[in-house]
Structure 1
Amino acid sequence: MKSLLAASTMLIGTLLPLSAAVAEPARPAASAEATPAASQVTVVLVHGAWADGSSWSKVIPLLQAKGIKVLGVQNPLTSLADDVVATKRVLADATGPVVLVGHSWAGTVITEAGTDPKVKALVYVAAFANKEGQSGGDLVAAYPKTPALGTVWDDGHGFLRQTEQGMLDNFAADLPRAEARTLFVTQGALAASTFGDKVTVPAWRTVPSWYVVSANDRVIAPQMERDLGAEMKAKTTVLQSSHVSLLSHPKEVAAVIEDAVAFVTKGAAK
């Protein structure tokens, strides 16, 4: 009897740890797409004129799904200096190396702010890329006038906006009209004086760059975009898109940013 009791006790002692192991809930597996190396890079997104930070709303979740950290800048659009300050404030919050991305007017902003030592890559999305002492106005004047320049509304207080028709026909011509009307309402007014603000030291001279050309752009001349990409020796992607490729072709724009992140990740691993 004693030997039977001892045997039963031993059997129970053996089975209890096994049952506990079976009962323990399975832990979710780590995402196969989110690599630890890529998660060390921060992407900082800078919006352009006649827009706000929400213009990146379709790109952000695509980057986050890959485990990439993302921060956004809300530009005051009052001057190049003010927008650079806003961008550098966000750069100060970023951890690890940074891929700095600018759309439209924000190309000038990242060209000036991108000399920050954290910035390891620049991505221009249908954006200005000024030389030393060159303003956005200088770039615009060097090419034929685009349709969007004819649909600018001056509020009489030194700020410029796109008219609703301009937003529908020129700024966001390949978006659903309801979405383009929302952009009209949420657009940030651009200080007219920004067209005279000049870049001092262009970051793209020393920082590897990527460029996304909008072939159907009616805001910035597509030929300017191609020329700027060539001048910078940027890795260039051409999309059949309006000015707002970040909203009409978010997957393609996100893929370019991811390529820049991969480049920085590879460099950081050396």
Structure 2
Amino acid sequence: MKKSTNIIARLSKIGLFFALILTFAVAEAQQQPSGTKNVVLVHGAFVDGSGWKPVYDILIKKGYHVSIVQQPLTTFANDVNAVKRILDLQDGPCILVAHSYGGAIITEAGNDPHVAGLVYIAAHAPDKGENEAANGKLYPPAYKSLQKTADGFDYINPAHFHADFAADLPAGIAEFAAHAQMLTADEVFHAVIQNPAWRSKPNWYMVAKSDRIINPDLERMYAKRANSHTVEVNGASHSVYESHPIEVAKLIIEAARQAPIGKQK
């Protein structure tokens, strides 16, 4: 009887051991993303890449390799080159994601062979011969708080930053962002697009329905023209990438799974 009990105990331990192995294997498999594994995030004007952290945290937990560009916002060429440097560091195809003015940047930088697909988050997506400043006049935004320095850099009046840029973020977070602004050379908004990547690569678009910085109707025009896979987020401000990270991450994951990628390293 004692021998039988020992055998049963040993079998139970073996069963538990293999159960643990299976649990770890399943967990490991769940952390291996299907499709494109690399994601590159590009911020817009007046902010830096730190606003992407909520999206970054979600994607990292899902097993994606995520890089965030910190472009200088001094000239359009410098900003495009900053993105290309990060693209050159990728070990395979990537999904290139941008917010706001960053959309104009990835519209050019997205021609890089590393890029499997583009995701625009409340972003500009100009066509050849267009610039975002002119497009903005076709669909005027609601905000009136833009200021300019004597040497040609733009910023948003901090007193109106919360209402205009980030109405759906907590006041404290918006206030910090208002006073941590990256002043942006006005000339970057007038850069003319030469070779729009969205014409040759699959793309996805998120419309922020309460955006005061870019008119939501302009966002819809961009998405329709580019034949984007489009989602709209109710009540979302221009800071949708920070205030609705779950929805944003979901769209990026959709792009990563659906974009044609060929063989990855």
Same fold (TM over 0.5): yes
2:62 is the counterpart of 1:66: yes
Other structure's SS at 2:254 match: helix
| Pair 36,169 (structure 1): closer, same or farther in 2 beyond 3 Å | closer
| Counterpart for residue 3 of structure 1 | none
| Counterpart for residue 180 of structure 1 | 174
- Distance in 2 (CA, whole Å) between partners of 1:129 and 1:43 is 19
Cα pair 1:49 1:104 within 8 Å, conserved: yes
| Pair 101,36 (structure 1): closer, same or farther in 2 beyond 3 Å | closer
| Counterpart for residue 227 of structure 2 | 233
Unaligned runs of 5+ in 1: 1-14
Number of residue pairs the alignment of both structures matches: 249
| Pair 36,58 (structure 1): closer, same or farther in 2 beyond 3 Å | closer
Q: CA deviation at 1:269?
A: 6.6
TM-superposition CA deviations, 1:35-61 (whole Å, max 9, x none): 2644x5210000000110001011001
Other structure's SS at 1:242 match: coil
| Counterpart for residue 32 of structure 2 | 35
Cα pair 1:123 1:211 within 8 Å, conserved: yes
| Counterpart for residue 251 of structure 1 | 246
| Counterpart for residue 132 of structure 1 | 128
Alignment of 1:138-157 (within 5 A): 138-144=134-140, 146-148=141-143, 150-157=144-151
Other structure's SS at 1:58 match: helix
- Distance in 2 (CA, whole Å) between partners of 1:119 and 1:246 is 20
Q: CA deviation at 1:107?
A: 0.3
- Distance in 2 (CA, whole Å) between partners of 1:171 and 1:36 is 33
Q: Normalising by the residue count of structure 2, what TM-score does the alignment of the two structures yield?
A: 0.88
- Distance in 1 (CA, whole Å) between partners of 2:28 and 2:80 is 35
TM-superposition CA deviations, 1:160-198 (whole Å, max 9, x none): 111112211110011110010111122211101112111
| Counterpart for residue 117 of structure 1 | 113
| Counterpart for residue 47 of structure 1 | 43
2:213 is the counterpart of 1:216: no
2:77 is the counterpart of 1:81: yes
Cα pair 1:33 1:65 within 8 Å, conserved: no
Q: Normalising by the residue count of structure 1, what TM-score does the alignment of the two structures yield?
A: 0.86
Cα pair 1:152 1:166 within 8 Å, conserved: no
Q: CA deviation at 1:76?
A: 0.5
- Distance in 2 (CA, whole Å) between partners of 1:102 and 1:177 is 24
TM-superposition CA deviations, 1:186-242 (whole Å, max 9, x none): 221110111211111000000000000000000000000011100000000000100
Other structure's SS at 1:170 match: helix
Cα pair 2:33 2:64 within 8 Å, conserved: no
| Pair 173,93 (structure 1): closer, same or farther in 2 beyond 3 Å | same
Letter in 2 for 1:207: K
RMSD: 2.2
| Pair 126,58 (structure 1): closer, same or farther in 2 beyond 3 Å | same
Other structure's SS at 1:198 match: coil
| Counterpart for residue 6 of structure 1 | none
Cα pair 1:84 1:113 within 8 Å, conserved: yes
2:139 is the counterpart of 1:161: no
| Counterpart for residue 202 of structure 1 | 196
Letter in 1 for 2:151: H
- Distance in 2 (CA, whole Å) between partners of 1:36 and 1:44 is 15
